[in-house]
Amino acid sequence: MQYGEDERVSYARDNYIIRPERIRAVRLVTLGCKVNQTESEAVAQVFRAAGYRVLREDGPADVVVINTCTVTDSGDSKSRQMIRRMIKAHPGSFVIVMGCYAQTSPGEVLKIEGVDLVVGTQDRRRIPELMETVRAARGPRSAVHDIGSAKDFEELPLLEGESRTRATLKIEDGCNQFCTYCIIPYARGPVRSRRPENVLAEARKLVAAGYKEIVLTGIHTGAYGRDLAEPWDLARLVGELGEIRELKRLRLSSIEPVEFTPGLIKTIRESKVVCRHLHIPLQNGSAAVLRRMHRPYTPTDYKRLLERLREVMPDLAITTDVIAGFPGESEEEWQETLTFVASCDFAGVHVFPYSRREGTPAARYPGQVSHRVKQRRTREMLALARIGRERYKRAFIGKTVEVLLETVDEDGSAFGHSGNYLGVRLPPVPGGDSRRFSGMLVEVTLDEENLKS
């Protein structure tokens, strides 16, 4: 749609376009994963550098940015709903849609009346410049291009926030795995590792700014370094980061089972700062289903990895992901998964009912499982996960752990996480101001009360 095709839209947009001095405030809304959250914060920095005021709460905004998700069908639906909701809430605003749904379906996004610019998962740093091209063209535009040919990691500004507890540091983008159920490689492109000197420089700045914990994140974090000419991998990067003075904690986000090399395990075990919590996606406990998923390991391989990790780090918290109701998954295969998960002693399990994603091989597989069965299997796995979580927590009652206090409520109670990601809530300090403890690392002896969080 060109603006001239709709006089009502034309009037509102044209008034806006010829008066760019009105642009002062920008509102960002984020859907989806932690990587999206990190990228939205970086885009906020792009706008600040261009002279914009970033709104932390809803209010009149001249520019609205919606960072979308496409990992499931419901992610697409929620993205469309949020786009329309923001357009309605901010009439006349310049509306930008970015993220994974925008990357995979730019045409669908452009059809939504009121959208001005579609960006996708590249060129986020150029958004202010791209806005000018839309104004000049006096019509909505898509700046999305082929992510499959992307070769370089997109550097975005250093994150700044009000909190000085935990910072997220993105080290990689893209995925080369192409699991049969997953749309993300098509939304994010191939693995592109961030230059190690840039990772280390940003980590030092974050520590200097007062952050106690840094979380390394990416789309395929364990593949870090594969595309670099120099011999870098995740183990080497983690080792270098661990040498930064004053860094108290380094937390690793999701790492695939096959990417735990002996070197990485050794680095984690010997590190004084790497948190004793690893998220290792399983997805299914049936060897046959894993093959159909194009997951490059067997349940036996996975169990051996857990045994190696726990042998050298007995208190390690291991969490995982499981998909319920993958196409063709029989009741027998599902029971295999339940039995396998029960044997793994996970500290936490994220359960996802399978979502049929057009454009992926699994969407065409026979034996699509009904919604009712997927929901029932999800409930069964969640019940099992709760048992495992409680068992892991209770094993730490009476032990003293270091807790990073992240928030302080109005009543003075403080909440934080241990290195192995146990949520801990502390009561108010009698006669004192508990807010001064936010961002501090404190030693806490765990009991049933403070582990109730």
Q: What is the CATH number of the domain that holds 126?
A: 3.40.50.12160
Domain ranges, residue 223? 149-274
Both 27 and 136 in a single domain?
yes
Both 44 and 96 in a single domain?
yes
Query: In the prediction, which pLDDT does 187 show?
Result: 96
Model confidence band, residue 2 (pLDDT cutoffs 50, 70, 90):
very low
Query: In the prediction, which pLDDT does 135 show?
Result: 85
Mean pLDDT value of segment 60-86: 93
Both 374 and 337 in a single domain?
yes
Query: In the prediction, which pLDDT does 283 show?
Result: 99
The residue behind tokens 């999305």 is 144
End-to-end CA distance of the chain: 50
Position 50 in a domain: yes
Mean pLDDT value of segment 77-87: 96
Position 48 in a domain: yes
Mean pLDDT value of segment 187-202: 97
Structure tokens belonging to residue 292: 């159909």
Both 119 and 29 in a single domain?
yes
Model confidence band, residue 251 (pLDDT cutoffs 50, 70, 90):
very high
Q: Which of 37-51, 348-362, 428-442 has the lowest mean pLDDT?
A: 428-442
Q: Which of 47-56, 159-168, 218-227, 394-403 has the lowest mean pLDDT?
A: 159-168
Q: Which of 173-187, 226-240, 281-295, 434-448 has the lowest mean pLDDT?
A: 434-448
Both 81 and 171 in a single domain?
no
pLDDT digits (tens, 9 = 90+) for 129-185: 999 989 888 889 999 999 999 999 999 987 665 567 889 999 999 999 999 999 999
Model confidence band, residue 17 (pLDDT cutoffs 50, 70, 90):
very low
Average pLDDT score over the chain? 91
Position 450 in a domain: no
Query: In the prediction, which pLDDT does 428 show?
Result: 83
Both 323 and 222 in a single domain?
no
Model confidence band, residue 19 (pLDDT cutoffs 50, 70, 90):
very low
Query: From CA 168, how far away is CA 166, in angstroms rounded?
Result: 7
Query: In the prediction, which pLDDT does 409 show?
Result: 85
CATH number assigned to the domain comprising residue 215: 3.30.750.210
CATH number assigned to the domain comprising residue 299: 3.30.750.200
Mean pLDDT value of segment 409-428: 90
Query: In the prediction, which pLDDT does 163 show?
Result: 62
Query: From CA 123, how far away is CA 43, in angstroms rounded?
Result: 10
- Which one has a higher pLDDT value, 341 or 1? 341
pLDDT digits (tens, 9 = 90+) for 321-377: 999 999 999 999 999 999 999 999 999 999 999 999 999 999 999 999 999 999 999
Helix, coil or strand: residue 217 = strand
Per-position DSSP letters for 350-371, written without gaps between them: EEEE----TTSGGGG-S-PPPH
Mean pLDDT value of segment 249-259: 97
- Where are the strands (E) in 145-200, listed by range? 166-170, 172-173, 192-193
Both 260 and 367 in a single domain?
no
Residue 56, pLDDT > 90, answer no
Structure tokens belonging to residue 304: 């051996």
Position 452 in a domain: no
Both 136 and 13 in a single domain?
yes
Query: From CA 168, how far away is CA 161, in angstroms rounded?
Result: 11
Both 315 and 410 in a single domain?
no
Both 131 and 256 in a single domain?
no
Among 274, 291, 326, identify where a domain stops. 274
Query: In the prediction, which pLDDT does 160 show?
Result: 62
Position 451 in a domain: no
Among 274, 293, 319, identify where a domain stops. 274
Query: From CA 22, how far away is CA 452, in angstroms rounded?
Result: 49
Query: From CA 147, how far away is CA 188, in angstroms rounded?
Result: 6
Both 8 and 141 in a single domain?
yes
Residue 68, pLDDT > 90, answer yes
Query: In the prediction, which pLDDT does 108 show?
Result: 95
Query: From CA 411, how far away is CA 413, in angstroms rounded?
Result: 6
Position 95 in a domain: yes
Residue 9, pLDDT > 80, answer no
Nearest to 436 by CA among 444, 424, 428: 428
pTM, two decimals, is 0.89
CB atoms under 10 Å from CB of 404, counted, come to: 22
Among 223, 248, 274, identify where a domain stops. 274
Count of domains in the chain?
A: 4
Ramachandran angles phi, psi of 182, nearest 5°: -110, 130
Model confidence band, residue 432 (pLDDT cutoffs 50, 70, 90):
low
Both 339 and 219 in a single domain?
no
